[in-house]
Chains A and B, each alone.
Chain A
């Protein structure tokens, strides 16, 4: 039966080219924008290289330090101190690893080969030993630096494949030395390139955080505030709530012990997806709803406005097919059968539009890749960085499944009401419309 419906839909498509074109264009537009939105957030939230553990990760970043005697005296930072990561979050029962990261945020450092005159400016990331356990980098050669190497401030770095190519085109980079900030470092590992679409981990060179005294030196005026972002990997057998409760307990104890200052963490540790919405500053009004309502509004507009468009067109078409429906009813077809037929026919058109839309969304994401992934960000420090869109970001079951789901949803929203209205007419009225 469904095959017959599709056959009929195909014939009608050929007969009503204008209707088909407008219907497919309307659907395509809606699906293209919904899918673009979806891809943006998929890249932000979903487990992709080298952040495959996003679903098992909690994040602590923003802190605010408030004077207990005078609440008006406060300061805030986008990160935490080394003490917070290295002492307070050490030995967590429910965490497998705690990564400390100071991302490059678009800043670059000059590197050069020993004895070489040419310097290259590259984005750098400062990390601790656990970073390599929380994030799943593919090592093409060598290995990450270990926690003890970081603590010993060993001059070792991990570099990206493209930097290795650029600096040591014809020789194996492992064990080679390079100059960075005038210091000599040995390359201990080479990893597959990371797209700037994952701004926390993106870079060309990963340096032990202990090399930067400013980042790891305790500053009594700053308390737990600092520049470090913490990524906590939930241990196997534990869940996020266990880990969250454990961290909150540590924070509360610290706040009770500190007589002068109180540290506000704004509900952190966050789930990874939620942490991507925190801008550069402390926001006391940061809630799920405060960030979701704008996206829901846009998503609804992407669905409802084209759906009304399509409903109008379907309504017109139902008028022209009224006598056909009357005849079918006269020969015993039920309203349910006719409704199902119209929905299947329209689904065929909607799927065609959905395919066009999906391809269009790929085109949008590819051509605007340098800015589209940060479209919703208020703070965009990685501006103008080439964002490589990888295969796994676009071609995956979640994206295809969502496209199909939106097609079905759009089809239902747009076809259900006009068809139901048309079917309310009696057989006589329906057949009579032909005259």
Chain B
């Protein structure tokens, strides 16, 4: 059968030449389009390391200098007390499971990004054993608990990390799994010391599962510093330097909570020049961040380009096989009259399409490998270019598996669309009655 199919392809080489050339060029183009989609999608599918459901950011507004509503007599301490009152009001809501107060770079998809260098011991501060880390900072005021609120899991137990009872009295650092391994080679590091670039030491409180700060990004080494009390260098901007995050109890209807909160709680939040300025779900913050950083635009563009290439192939295959089926009506009639089933005829045409796609793809593979080697594969990132090299890579984004996966996906897409394009004329032709087909013979 295969021999016959090869013979058919060769006999029709002039017609096949065009579709073959189209498959080569469209296949190459499709591969370059699929590559970013593959990378961004695999990153998106990686576990986030926190829970998104029922988590919200409380937006705090403030009357700034010059505003008519601003109380200019308020002191820095009163501003802080006012801010903590906001957190307390949220915490005391019966629908709320937990809250946390964090600095404004310390929640997933926050606009800001803080970093630092970490060392496993003081002797290595000047040596090469430093690891660049992203840095979250949280505070323990008002029972603030980042682990419970975000749903950050202990790497050993798989359950939410638990803050020790003396968390309000002692600063501790919690390390992501990958960071602990890089610094110490093990995740059993609770109680040990880590040092920042200024040689300041912190006790390690525990190790949590890797957390992704931005969707569509790889993991970055992350540390979470738990400090006793909230601060900001400019007290009147406490709300800009920090954020209040809360988690609703399971089963609580957000819309009902939102309505009740706005009527019953929000008016009490008009304190120390602050006011309630709405909620933002974690999910919405994630989507807004990806939108702002052009990730959704990139995906939209790639999907559009892929659709274009596949539609062209579809039209090309329909056109080519329609003409071919018409030209081979007599042959189909003869085969049917000699006992060939509809399935056999379809199989032969599908075989031709599969072979065409496969041969075209084999032809472009060396060119693709060359392009991948010379230009590199897609590695677009939304973090600062000088930090990209610190992103934690995965086996599926290593060169060879990455290349093979993108090639496989491209091949399967090409093949699927080519078979669908072939199926329409072939199904029509294979149902023809032998007598009708042989009338012209």
Q: Which residues of B contact A376 (CB under 8 A)?
A: 297, 301
Q: Which residues of B contact A8 (CB under 8 A)?
A: none
A residues bordering B, Cβ < 8 Å? Answer: 18-19, 22, 25-26, 29, 33, 106, 179, 181-183, 298, 301-302, 304-306, 308-309, 311-313, 315-316, 319, 371, 374-381, 383-384, 418
- Given that A182-B66, A312-B19, A312-B22 are known contacts, is A383 also in contact with B318, CB under 8 Å in the complex? no
Min CB distance B291 to A, Å, is 4
Q: Which residues of A contact B66 (CB under 8 A)?
A: 181-183
A212 and B5 alpha carbons, distance in the complex (Å): 76
A203 and B305 alpha carbons, distance in the complex (Å): 32
Most-contacted residue by chain B among A19, A371, A383 (CB, 10 A): A383
What does the 1/0 interface line of B297-317 toward A look like (CB < 8 Å)? 100110011001101100110
- Given that A182-B67, A301-B305, A309-B316 are known contacts, is A371 also in contact with B300, CB under 8 Å in the complex? yes
Min CB distance A267 to B, Å, is 19
Instruction: Find out whether the CB atom of A379 lies under 8 angstroms from the CB atom of B292.
Output: yes
Choose one: B18, B70, B297, B309; the contact of A315 (CB below 8 Å).
Answer: B18
Choose one: B15, B63, B293; the contact of A378 (CB below 8 Å).
Answer: B293
Q: Give the 9 A-B CB pairs with smallest separation, nearest first.
A: A182-B67, A312-B18, A308-B22, A182-B68, A378-B294, A383-B291, A309-B316, A316-B323, A305-B312
Q: Which residue of A lies closest to B385 (CB)?
A: A281
Which interface class (under 10, 10 to 19, 20 to 34, 35 or more) fits B? 35 or more
Q: Which residues of A contact B63 (CB under 8 A)?
A: 182
B residues bordering A, Cβ < 8 Å? Answer: 14-15, 18-19, 21-22, 25-26, 29, 63-64, 66-70, 288, 291-294, 296-297, 300-301, 304-305, 308-309, 311-312, 315-316, 318-320, 322-323
Min CB distance A83 to B, Å, is 23
A302 and B33 alpha carbons, distance in the complex (Å): 13
A416 and B365 alpha carbons, distance in the complex (Å): 29
Instruction: Find out whether the CB atom of A311 lies under 8 angstroms from the CB atom of B29.
Output: no
Residue contacts A-B, CB under 8 angstroms, 20 given: A18-B322, A22-B315, A26-B312, A33-B308, A182-B66, A183-B66, A301-B305, A302-B308, A309-B22, A309-B315, A311-B18, A312-B320, A316-B320, A375-B297, A375-B301, A376-B297, A379-B293, A379-B294, A380-B297, A383-B292
A121 and B124 alpha carbons, distance in the complex (Å): 52
A411 and B309 alpha carbons, distance in the complex (Å): 19
- Given that A22-B319, A181-B66, A371-B297 are known contacts, is A380 also in contact with B292, CB under 8 Å in the complex? yes
Most-contacted residue by chain A among B288, B297, B311, B320 (CB, 10 A): B297
Beyond contacts A374-B297, A380-B297: 20 other A-B pairs, Cβ-Cβ < 8 A, are: A29-B311, A181-B67, A182-B66, A182-B67, A182-B70, A301-B29, A304-B25, A305-B25, A305-B309, A308-B25, A309-B18, A309-B316, A312-B316, A313-B323, A315-B14, A316-B15, A375-B297, A378-B297, A379-B294, A383-B288
Q: Which residues of A contact B319 (CB under 8 A)?
A: 19, 22, 309, 312-313, 316
Q: Which residue of B lies closest to A364 (CB)?
A: B304
